[in-house]
Amino acid sequence: MTVSQTVQTSTTPLEGTSLTSHSTASPPSSIGGDAGARGAADRTVTRRRRRRHSREYLLFLVLVSPNLLLIGTFEYWPVIYNAYLSLTRWNMLSGVPVWVGLDNYQSLLTSSSFHTVMYNTLLFTGTVVIGSVVIGLALAVLFNQKVRGRGFVRTVAFAPHIVSGAAVATLWLFIFNPDYGLSRFVLNQVGLSSPRWVSDSDWALASLIIVFLWKGIGFVAIVYLAGLQSLPEDVYEAAKLDGARAWTTFRRITLPLLSPVTFFVLVITIIGTFQAYDMIAVMTGGGPGNATTTLSWYIYEQGFQASDAGRAAASAMILFVILLIVTGLQTKYAQRKVHYQ
Amino acid sequence: MSNRLPRHSSLRRPSRRSFLGMTAAGLSVPILGSCAGGVSSSDDGEGGGNELGQVDISPPSKYRGRDVNVVMWSAMGGVNGEALDALVEKFNESQDSIYAEVQFQGNYHESSPKLTAALRAGAVPDIMMLADTFWGRFLLNDVLEPLNGYLTDDFNRDNYVEALFDEGLVGDELYWLSYGRSTPLFYYNKDAFAEIGLPDRGPETWTELREWGAELSKLTVQGQPLKVHAFTGDDDWQFMSAAWQFGGSLSDGLDVTINTGGAVDAAAWQQRFIFEDQMGYMAESSAVDFGTGVVATTITSTGALRGIYENAEFEVGTAFLPAEVTTGVPTGGMGFSLLRDVPQERKDAAFEVLKFLGQPDNAAEWSLASGYLPIVKAAVDEPELAEQIAEDPNRSTAVEQLPMAQGSDAIRSYLPNGTDIIISGLQEIFSSGSADVQSVFDRVAGELEEGVERIRDDYDRYFG
């Protein structure tokens, strides 16, 4: 009731006269005299309705078509066309894509470099996601304390989030430089020598994770902070009265109450890391070897270095399906477990 | 009235089913549209002879209204980009029927996919700057214009350093006109060499470098031992020369040889030099590291000389590349190609630009500004360049080494991601002392061979 009223009020200005004429001119079909008259009335009503219907559908189409066209052209069509390309072989230069069925998928799933790519992707995403949640929450708890200058600290922590990935990556390349970088200086102070960060296959992925966390954590912290500040006071008072310790309160009250926020953070971070591209491009180019080649970088490599549209498209479909599954699982989990206020 | 509202509004609102129907209808419009577009454009491509459009160009008012506008896509930034801009500006001033514009499109790796996209979109530049390892992929897809017809009695192979000119030939037909060509040079820090009493020359062999290295690494820079040699991790050009010097190669034609003989020896030698001897490392930018003095020697392009001069606070020395089993010097750098399906008028105008750049005085100006090799024979007689070559021994090193040089192994030139696959393998070896060279290169060879399958037929059409 409330909903439809809202709908009506909100649409009234758009539909103008047709609405007014309808509400005054058409009697409800249940009112009528003998069968014939009723039939005639019904027919008139139906005809009117039909005309009105088509007019309204037309208006509907006119109103939604710009959006539908945009979404269709730039969202759905690329996905559909990509799915088609993934079943072809094409170098993007010569004539037309050649149909090869599932060949691209088969060669991907059996190739050892693709296994490395998937391993890198999972390691990268997993570490960044867990790191973001843990450190982000810890920071948020810290920022939530009533200490002087916390506004400033919050701003500082959030700042990296709004800097572009390429700039952040360039900056960190300087920091990581083993010959004149800040990291070398800091590590030397504590008696350690700097690893060759991005050019050492054992450290390159770790470098990326550090930078990605550094850039993303401020955002996560702010989201958690907003969550913390909207928590109800009364449950904490009750817990206090019952003599719960700080850790218990945090684990049994804060964490469960924050689960919608955690859910949001998980979705955002997982999608963000799966799509990580700019920092990899600037910092490592997927190397050394393929130590930092994640799925999104691999798609680029196949598409624009190897000019292999089919294989790139197949990898993109795999990314698409993974994200679809992740989102599906998260939605399902969220419905069961997440406590919304 | 109030109880009619819900029904009322449900009447006005389209049902779920019809909503979905309309959504589908709305979606299918762009889909069908794109299908149609796809089909027609590929038909045109097959037929050949269709005319490619031009990318956007906006002549400044003083050049507006000329008969033809020509766009050049360039991969040269920085000092070299400015030098090229200046020369093209000079071209615009030299005549009044053609306006040429240089559009910087990022490095070779960035500009090449842009050309692919431009070809699909049907609007292309008229002159494309392509690195020696990038034009092959466009050749194999039949998009490059044969250039013999544009050569004249006074502008032809005879004007050019033949070996460099010939690298653009397929059979007898020219598809790629050399411009910014280079070879790698061995760079060394003369001050460091003098400090420990080494001779003022480059090592004759890699083995000699290793002997010298033991002394060099006793020096310190910023509190750390001076590194002896910076290996390049983002290019396989230098490694190809090492493979040659150790008696091997990356490929013979399209037959992959990187996992055999000299190539494996070279990589194993370099890996030992890095991890066992602790003398070398994989640099993020070898030219920068050398210029800032953290490493005593490196191998990088002749084209890097100017940049290194600007950085270095020590005396810079250059030498021929070290030999080992034999000598090996690859050429590199870039040249220009035209695109086949561009209207003739624009291709003619485009070649006028190339001719202008190939005039001895302009070629000399380019070499002076960039440090690239003089590609036009008469350029070295231009007073300024002649003077510089005579005065700066580092300039003459490249010119003297040039007769030893030869073009890249085919796997780098024709397989689009050939270099990327090789670089990835090299990085694995250069970044880990425990990586087994043979098995890394076996994997690399496998990936290369997989790629070769896709281009073999096209390659054989031109070279078979």
Q: Is the pLDDT of residue A33 over 70?
A: no
Q: Which of B62, B459, B14 is nearest to B253 (CA)?
A: B459
Contact A309, B117 (CB under 8 A): no
Q: Is B14 on the interface with A (CB under 8 A)?
A: yes
| Best mutation target, B10, B116, B285, B431, to test chain A (most A CBs within 10 A) | B431
Average pLDDT over residues B149-156: 95
Contact A144, A228 (CB under 8 A): yes
Please, what is the Cα angle at B444 between B441 and B447, to 5 degrees? 155
pLDDT for the residue numbered A7: 37
Q: Is the pLDDT of residue A122 over 60?
A: yes
Q: Is the pLDDT of residue B31 over 60?
A: no
Give the residue on B whose Cα is nearest the Cα of A15.
B12
The CA–CA distances, whole Å, from A105 to A118, A316, A318, B232 equal 14, 11, 9, 34
Contacts of A304 in chain B (CB under 8 A): 113
Q: Is the pLDDT of residue A164 over 80?
A: yes
The Cα–Cα gap between B84 and B76 comes to 8
Q: SS in 3 state form for A75-87?
A: HHHHHHHHHHHCC
The Cα–Cα gap between A265 and A129 comes to 8
The class of domain B53-182+333-391 in CATH terms is alpha beta
pLDDT for the residue numbered A35: 54
Percentage of residues in chain A having pLDDT higher than 90? 42
Q: Is the pLDDT of residue B404 over 60?
A: yes
Contact A235, A148 (CB under 8 A): no
Mean predicted lDDT score pLDDT of chain A: 83
Contacts of A282 in chain B (CB under 8 A): none
Q: Give every CB contact of residue B405 below 8 A, 6+ residues apart in sequence.
A: B163, B183, B329, B330, B331
Instruction: Name the more confident of B256 and A19.
Output: B256
Q: Which of A121, A156, A144, A129 is nearest to A265 (CA)?
A: A129
Residue A108, Cα to own-chain centre: how many angstroms? 25
Mean predicted lDDT score pLDDT of chain B: 88
Element (H, E) at B262: helix B261-275
pLDDT digits (tens, 9 = 90+) for A299-339: 999 998 888 999 999 999 999 999 888 888 877 876 665 55
The ipTM value here is 0.77
Contact B319, B198 (CB under 8 A): no
**E strand residue ranges, A108-186:** none
Domain positions in chain B are: 53-182+333-391, 184-330+410-463
| Best mutation target, A304, A308, A311, to test chain B (most B CBs within 10 A) | A304
Instruction: Name the more confident of A194 and B182.
Output: B182
Within 10 A of B462 (CB to CB), how many other CB atoms are there?
A: 15
* CA torsion angle B43 B45 B51 B56 (round to 10): 110
pLDDT for the residue numbered B409: 95
Return the CATH number of the domain spanning residue range B184-330+410-463.
3.40.190.10
Within 10 A of B340 (CB to CB), how many other CB atoms are there?
A: 16
Tokens representing B288 are: 């920068």
* Residue whose pair of structure tokens reads 């200058």 in the numeric block: A149
Within 10 A of B205 (CB to CB), how many other CB atoms are there?
A: 13
Average pLDDT over residues A86-92: 92
The Cα–Cα gap between B202 and B317 comes to 8
Tokens representing A208 are: 């990326």
Domain positions in chain A are: 2-69, 104-337
Q: Is the pLDDT of residue A41 over 70?
A: no
Contact A310, A88 (CB under 8 A): yes
pLDDT for the residue numbered B382: 92
Q: What is the least distance, in Å, from the CA of A225 to any CA of chain B?
A: 40
pLDDT for the residue numbered A70: 94
Element (H, E) at A67: helix A35-71
The DSSP bridge pattern shows strands B173-174 and B169-170 to be: antiparallel
3-state helix, strand, coil in chain B (%, to 5): 55, 20, 30
Q: Is the CB of B45 less than 8 angstroms away from the CB of A95? A: yes
Contact B77, B48 (CB under 8 A): no
Q: Which amino acid is residue B59, in one-letter code?
A: P
Instruction: Count Cβ atoms within 10 A of the Cβ of residue A240 and give its class: 0-12 exposed, 13-18 middle, 19 or more buried.
Output: exposed
Instruction: Name the more confident of B108 and A11.
Output: B108
The Cα–Cα gap between B245 and B209 comes to 14
Give the residue on B whose Cα is nearest the Cα of A177.
B284
Average pLDDT over residues B307-322: 93
Q: Which of A159, A151, A138, A160 is nearest to A224 (CA)?
A: A138
Average pLDDT over residues B15-33: 48
pLDDT for the residue numbered B169: 95
Q: What topology does CATH give the domain A104-337?
A: MetI-like fold (1.10.3720)
Give the residue on B whose Cα is nearest the Cα of A112.
B443
pLDDT digits (tens, 9 = 90+) for B63-100: 999 999 999 999 998 888 999 999 999 999 999 999 99
| Widest CA span in chain A | 102
Q: Is the pLDDT of residue A59 over 70?
A: yes
Q: Is the pLDDT of residue B262 over 50?
A: yes
pLDDT for the residue numbered A4: 39
pLDDT for the residue numbered A178: 84
